A and B are shown apart, each in its own frame.
Chain A
Amino acid sequence: MLEQGKIDSNQAIMLLVSMVLSTAILTVPAFVIKFARQDAWLSIMTSILVGLLIAMLVVSLSLRFPGKTLFEYAEEILGKAPGKLIGLLYIWWFLHTNALIIDEFASFLCTAMMPNTPTIVFFIAVVAVAAYAVRNGLEVLSRYNQLFLPIVLGLLFIVLILTTKDMKAARLLPVFDIGLVPVLKGATVPASWLGEVVVLAMIIPFLNKPNEAYRVAALATLFTGLVLTACTLAVVAIFGPVTSGHFVFPVYNAVRVVSIANFLERLESVIVAVWVFGGFAKVGVFYYAAVLGSAQWLGLKSYQPLVAPVGVILVALALLCRNIAYLLDFTSRVWPPYSLSVYEAGIPLVMLIVALIRKKGGKAVG
């Protein structure tokens, strides 16, 4: 075994929540509002269903092969060569997606907070800290996350309550004005974000109670989806669908309007805290998946030696895309169909069907 650590169900839920929520909360509401206008919340509700389906798919596949990650059972299901190819595709996806996340992380800090700092400083800072956590294993990453996520979510909750003063429910009306198609189109972006739960295929083998994996996946997806819905509702109720569709980071803008008795102001730094803590956890999980996957793909005895070189590759990949407009266009238009069709639904579905036909793996437990 490359990873000796075990994490419990609550840690896994928290890891999945901060993994999806931290980037989704910044950019996703704007993408969805552009498509579905004031019905954006319906889009996100729809995407929760898609996310739940993907979660069930991944968990039922993983539970047929107890103690094995995606990279190991892909070879068992499909045979040596096709399994290796699938492994390579997933390593690429983890690296590429992580580079996009790091890029978003840096672009946000750079655009919204510190415009005079070169973005590479943020790249190296987040990758270096994540590398330290990943090198120490999944347990360290989960415990860090267990410590900070409750604080971060608590702050987010307080800040959202403070924005209610500026909300007008009338801005959410009329409901279902533009019909079903834009709502469904708007659902693809949050569905692909929630579909990142596919990373669970790398974490389930290290759960101390694997039979709780269904509960973990379902609770994490539901919780993330509902927080995302609440944030989107808040944004639309404050600015209306037209203005909020033009924001780059709408939740950040929503929190900026909070001004209570000319005293409680500048609360957007809370959102920055959510972003820095959560973004780091997210980078860490994808980094871990890429490093562990590469070590298993190469058949190594330890994954630690790969952490630093993979970090260098991550910084290099993040540097390749330097333009925030291109990044947002890519993550809102190309990345969702690409990830959903291939990595989140396509490959796991094919693997599950082949596993059922070839009768590979034990009967799913739990």
Chain B
Amino acid sequence: MIALLILMFTGIILLEVPGLVKKKMWRELAAFSVLLLIGMALIMPQAFGVVLPNPSEAVAALFRPLAELLE
């Protein structure tokens, strides 16, 4: 599982980064890196079995009153 994820991330980086560096698209490269880091930060703990908070819970907490109105 972990090896598969590392393989996947390496593949994504090899696919995108050389082209971006060649075309000198630094802004795009920065956005790519930040988003990929967010993705890694979200997926790696789950691969190790850590349970992360589900964002749906926050939405549910906010909208429960409105939802209960519709029961």
Contacts and interface: CB of A to CB of B under 8 A. Distances in A.
A306 B31 CA distance: 7
A300 B70 contact: no
B39 A337 contact: no
A309 interface: yes
B15 interface: yes
A302 B26 CA distance: 12
A295 B12 CA distance: 18
Nearest to A299: B27
Interface string B15-45: 1100010000101110110011011101100
A343 to B, nearest CB: 11
B32 A319 contact: no
Interface in A303-322: 305-306, 308-313, 315-317, 319-321
Contact of B42 (A294, A313, A321): A313
A338 B63 contact: yes
B38 to A, nearest CB: 6
Contacts of A341: 66
A311 B9 CA distance: 11
Interface residues of A, number: 34
Contacts of A359: none
A308 B17 CA distance: 11
Contact of B66 (A302, A306, A309, A337): A337
B35 A96 contact: no
B42 A317 contact: yes
A337 B28 contact: no
Contacts of B43: 312, 315-316, 319
A337 B67 contact: yes
Given A302-B28, A305-B32, A334-B60, A317 B12 contact: no
Most chain B Cβ neighbours within 10 Å, of A100, A188, A309 = A309
A185 interface: yes
A323 to B, nearest CB: 10
Contacts of A316: 39, 42-43, 46
A333 interface: yes
Nearest to B38: A313
B44 to A, nearest CB: 9
Nearest to B54: A320
A330 B56 contact: yes
Residue among B20, B29, B39 facing the most chain A CB atoms (10 A cut-off): B39
Given A301-B25, A302-B28, A308-B36, A320 B52 contact: yes
Contact of B64 (A312, A319, A334, A336): A334
A334 B38 contact: no
Contacts of A309: 12, 32, 35-36, 38-39
Contacts of B46: 316, 319-320
Given A317-B42, A320-B52, A321-B56, A312 B70 contact: no
Nearest to B11: A308
Contact of B35 (A188, A306, A317, A319): A306
Contacts of B38: 309, 313
Interface of B: 8-9, 12, 15-16, 20, 25, 27-29, 31-32, 35-36, 38-40, 42-43, 46, 52, 54-56, 59-60, 62-64, 66-67, 69-71
18 contacts: A96-B59, A294-B35, A301-B25, A302-B28, A305-B25, A306-B31, A309-B12, A309-B32, A310-B39, A311-B39, A312-B35, A312-B40, A313-B42, A319-B43, A319-B46, A334-B63, A338-B67, A341-B66
Interface of A: 96, 100, 185, 188, 294-295, 298-302, 305-306, 308-313, 315-317, 319-321, 326, 330, 333-338, 341
Given A313-B42, A334-B64, A337-B70, 6 more contacts: A302-B28, A305-B29, A306-B32, A310-B35, A316-B39, A337-B66
> Which 9 A-B residue pairs are closest in the complex by CB-CB distance?
A312-B39, A316-B42, A309-B35, A309-B36, A316-B43, A308-B12, A337-B66, A305-B32, A313-B39
